[in-house]
Structure 1
Amino acid sequence: MGVSFVVPGPSGVAVRDRLKGLTVEDEGVLRLVGDHLGSLSSGDLKARCAAGLDHDSESWAARKRELTGLSSSRWAGSLTKATHDLWALARRGQQAHIRQLEAGVNTIRHRLALPLGEKGSKRTAGGYRSRREWHAKTRRLRVLEDRLERARADWAVGRVWVARGGKQLLNSRHHLEQAHLSEDTWRARWEASRRFLQADGESGKRYGNETIRISPDSEVSIRLPAPLSHLANAPHSRYVLTARVSFAHRGQAWRDRVEADRAVAYRIHEDVQRQRWYLTASWAIPPAQTVPLAAVRAGGLVGVDTNADHLAAWRLDQHGNPVGAPRRFAYDLTGTADHRDAQVRHALTRLLHWAGRHRLAIAVEDLDFTAETSRERHGRRKKFRKLISGMPVARLRARLVSMATELGIPLVAVDPAYTSRWGAQHWQKPLTSTKRKTTRHDAAAVAIGRRALGHPIRRRTAPPRTHQSDGYGHRTVQAEPGSPGREETRPRVPGPRTRSVPPGCGANAGDQNAQHRPGRSAEHGSWQQDSLPLSP
């Protein structure tokens, strides 16, 4: 079982603003510069991929010197750095693909070795249902083994497959009708995605960037490459745009960095569908100081269960008890990518504002579905595979960390093992009443919160009926664990056995022996003196 931990904050910030008021000449210059640098980036990426694992600092410097004559030294540095980042990203994706193929091959081999119809366990899959399915899986096993062999061979020599502009957009060229695109529209989107208009920041230089410079008064200027220097409208081969930039979000933080000449990276890109140009600024920030886990648990927290269409949340106190009613923050993941991103952001905003009002931390599952979406693991459960694949795990995690850090709300990540199952088993029925119907997701939120607080998920069950009371009455006083003799028979408490009269406070409690009853009172036995015998 994984240990819960406080999630560290982000290491960088990115803000975006629209370039409004661009003239036709400005757009033409941006396209020319982007196309020229994009062609240089494609050639540099080809050279980097051809080098493979034989790449070293000398070849990097040689490529940079070659690009400097066609652009500038700073443009060449940005191009080569972007190339290395793209190659490294492709290598990480290749490694993840190999792990997924290995998991699929191992699963099929295990299921083929089992008899037909044998049931599986909670951790391993069972045998295939029919001989026909068994035969089909043997053929698929050969296909996956061939793919795995080719992927391992590419990994060994450092060969990667990269498409500048995106593989999805590239493949849609052959399916324009299904993508609802015309050839001209696709061409415009393809050219826009392959342009290169991004520059890394440099501390100590004017306004933190010499290539794409934005002054504190929102003036945007670009250093033109050497072959396009004739298009400059400002000294030192610079082109000043007519548009002005003013970042609504984190604008003051950006202005402070620019005025102090601290590094700020910029990227300019065109949205062909909206016919707009955008500028993105990004910079590194020091990691936020992590709050100790004990301090986060002190006042309780909010357990959150992530689902395909909503976030189920429940507030818990420091003892792990649910407080109030459960909350649900829904989102719709249909439509365009911008719409899905806006839905996730809106749901997280409502969740964070609710947690901020109560000054509580948020506990979430440390989800990672990279190896859980394989169809070999879940077999015929197509709906379940689609459900897992549709969860915005990476996007929600990145958004939640960034937004929570901005609001100062700590995040606690817990192990996701069995939270839904044990939550439904131990908490769904006890939290359901005639006025409230507790769902399985609400119970999972309680389980996540209890695990983040360090408590076991299962509830403390009551003892058997015969042990709930003594043989002579209900247990009213419980001894401490360290009390001596706590397992012995409890002494009888004297006095009347009524709820209205406490012991020793009856009407004749002063001298019960005066009632001429047989026996003596245990309460007054040590205080009574025997009557003296009278002499005759």
Structure 2
Amino acid sequence: MDGALRKLAAPYVAPGPSGVAIRTRLKQLTCADEEVLRRVGAHLGTLASGDLQARCHDGLKHDATAWAARKRELTPHSSARWAGAITRATHDQWALARRGALAHLQALEAGVRTLRHRLSLPLGAKGSKRVPGGYGNRREWHAKARRLHVLEDRLARERAAWEAGTVRVVRGGRRLARLRHQLPAAQLTEDQWRARWQAARWFLQADGESGKRYGNETIRIGPGGEVSIKLPAPLAGLANASHGRYVLTGRVAFAHRGPEWADRVAADRAVAYRIHHDPGRGRWYVTASWQKPVARTVPLAAALAGGVIGVDLNADHLAAWRLDVHGNPTGSPRRFCYDLTGTTQHRDAQVRHALTRLLHWARACGVRAIAVEDLDFTTEKTREKHGRKKRFRQLVSGLPTGRLRARLVSMADAMGLTVVAVDPAYTSKWGAQYWQKPLTSKNRRTTRHDAASIAIGRRAQGYPIRRRTAPPRTHRSDGCGHRTVQAGPEPPGREGPRPRLPGPRTRSVPPDAERKRATRTSSTVRDVRREREWVQDSLLLTD
């Protein structure tokens, strides 16, 4: 190994999900129902835009008094509960933008540090795996020097905005806003884009409230699927039920986690709802969400009692291998492929389908734990560090690490499985070094990713990634020489005699050849002795 190895973090059991969100379609809506939903969403969306503007204007000076003042201003135009939902959503959106600004600021600082370091090195200086080297030629050095000045100016502006508490938020999404200037490339008309933009800026979400009827007073869904909405004060004339409520014609039925949702609704426990519109399909959806109590984490030893399945995340598939309690791979490796091209919904469906197959296989094997890498590519996909490796940066950026980790933890918790997170350092390198060649035979080709899954599983179990370990120094046959009991690269087979190796049995200095040849009986004498017959001598008879 070149260089010092970094310290490895201990494996740990990933905590379960803290909330649940399920979605279903609002069907059998009449034209009047859709018109009411549009008018309510547009009215509350306008209030939400104004409240977000007021929150961004306050910046770091915002406090509980300002929050209460904003809520009092919104209450006459909607209701107390609608105003509370709008202000809480505004606060969450501002906090999210604040965290994004901090991440952008840290990325700029890392880029400036990298550029300064590389510009300080001589041209063509070699770098290491963690520290990049100098630039290849004078032309590239000059271009990076200009980029350093650009990043320094940008960093100064972002740092001043961060200290002032200024954030940049676009209700409806910045990507959709920029798409307005690229309609031919997106194959959209202006009317289609306008419909998407308006639907993204609507506000139709209400927080749950325990103790109230069916867990929500603003958007209420009964056990039978009846949906009723508390209309804002200016739209109270559209109500078709008592107390200013509007009851939709369609009914709701949650297929996923339906019994769990029905139990919460029957017990009047808090359930939050969000209604949104998909203009491309012309459909309305409702999302129900609620919090779950923090479950007690299963001990690591109990989770690994039945073995573990090591999983290696790649750009187009999941490589998995089952390991027994002793860290030995059993059976054949499995591969669960997915395609991350296309729309967001398609990519999300591909990830869910691959994880579903993985979890079903784990449950069929009787394994209760799945080991994955605790990946974090925030420092490994910067442009300044891997400027020329554009394909590598795209590959790393395309890995669904966050989405897959959240999906895996949630789905595994629903199936009673445990997710063990391990340190990702050297798993691919050491797995290929110690496991890829020994497990490759004529009938099975072991890939580097399969070997990495074994390394991940063994690290979760607390075993070293090496197949064998060296004996104590004083127990080696040659005293203090270098000797290990590492298995050979040939495929494993039955126990048999050791192969006859030419030469001395030990690594000591061979004896003197001349002295050995002088004391050794020649082969001719041995042949003559072998051909002679044995004759017993006559016995001497004495009195």
The match for 2:190 among 165, 183, 192 is 183
Find the residue that maps to 2:128 and give its secondary structure: coil
Match of 1:252 in 2: 259
Distance 1:95 1:417 in 2: 27
TM superposition shift of 1:289: 2.2
Deviates more, 1:248-257 or 1:343-352: 248-257
The superposition leaves residues 488-514 of structure 1 with CA deviations (integer Å, 9 ceiling, x where unpaired) of: xxxxxxxxxxxxxxxxxxxxxxxxxxx
Q: Name structure 1 gaps, 5 residues minimum.
A: 470-475, 477-536
Deviates more, 1:344-353 or 1:102-111: 102-111
The match for 1:16 among 23, 42, 53 is 23
Distance 1:227 1:428 in 2: 69
Match of 1:69 in 2: 76
TM superposition shift of 1:317: 1.3
Match of 1:96 in 2: 103
Are 2:362 and 1:362 equivalent residues in the alignment?
Answer: no
Match of 1:51 in 2: 58
The superposition leaves residues 383-426 of structure 1 with CA deviations (integer Å, 9 ceiling, x where unpaired) of: 11111011111111111011000001000000111111111122
Alignment of 1:113-124 (within 5 A): 113-124=120-131
Distance 1:417 1:171 in 2: 39
The match for 1:344 among 351, 360, 363 is 351
Return the letter of the residue paired with 1:2.
Answer: A
Distance 1:186 1:371 in 2: 36
Equivalences, count: 472
Distance 1:44 1:384 in 2: 42
Alignment of 1:235-384 (within 5 A): 235-360=242-367, 361-384=369-392
Distance 1:257 1:458 in 2: 50
Match of 1:217 in 2: 224
Match of 1:409 in 2: 417
Distance 1:344 1:168 in 2: 23
TM superposition shift of 1:465: 9.6
Return the letter of the residue paired with 2:236.
Answer: S
Distance 1:243 1:294 in 2: 50
The match for 2:394 among 386, 396, 420 is 386
TM superposition shift of 1:462: 7.2
Match of 1:431 in 2: 439
TM superposition shift of 1:280: 0.5
Distance 2:278 2:370 in 1: 36
Distance 1:422 1:465 in 2: 27
Match of 1:85 in 2: 92
Match of 2:466 in 1: 458
The superposition leaves residues 68-127 of structure 1 with CA deviations (integer Å, 9 ceiling, x where unpaired) of: 000000000000000000000001111111111111111111111111111111221111
Match of 1:29 in 2: 36
Find the residue that maps to 1:378 and give its secondary structure: coil
Are 2:157 and 1:161 equivalent residues in the alignment?
Answer: no
Match of 1:448 in 2: 456
Find the residue that maps to 1:432 and give its secondary structure: coil
Runs of 4 or more above 4 Å deviation:
461-469
The superposition leaves residues 125-156 of structure 1 with CA deviations (integer Å, 9 ceiling, x where unpaired) of: 11111111111111111111111111111111
Are 2:213 and 1:206 equivalent residues in the alignment?
Answer: yes
Find the residue that maps to 1:355 and give its secondary structure: helix
Match of 2:46 in 1: 39
Distance 2:30 2:484 in 1: 83
Contact 2:469 2:484 in 1 (8 A): no
Return the letter of the residue paired with 2:52.
Answer: L
Distance 1:268 1:26 in 2: 13
Q: Name structure 2 gaps, 5 residues minimum.
A: 1-7, 486-496, 498-543
Find the residue that maps to 2:243 and give its secondary structure: coil
TM superposition shift of 1:350: 0.3
Distance 1:3 1:195 in 2: 46
TM superposition shift of 1:283: 0.5
Are 2:193 and 1:193 equivalent residues in the alignment?
Answer: no
Normalising by structure 1, we get a TM-score of 0.86
Per the alignment, do residues 402 and 115 of structure 1 end up closer, same or farther by CA in structure 2, a change over 3 Å counting?
same
Return the letter of the residue paired with 1:256.
Answer: D
User: Matched residues, percent identical?
Assistant: 70
TM superposition shift of 1:347: 0.2
Return the letter of the residue paired with 2:21.
Answer: A
Distance 1:295 1:162 in 2: 46
Distance 2:147 2:188 in 1: 34
Match of 1:172 in 2: 179
Return the letter of the residue paired with 1:201.
Answer: G
The superposition leaves residues 258-287 of structure 1 with CA deviations (integer Å, 9 ceiling, x where unpaired) of: 111111000000011111000000001112
Return the letter of the residue paired with 1:188.
Answer: A
The match for 2:141 among 131, 134, 154 is 134
Normalising by structure 2, we get a TM-score of 0.85
Find the residue that maps to 2:105 and give its secondary structure: helix
Distance 2:291 2:175 in 1: 30
TM superposition shift of 1:323: 1.0
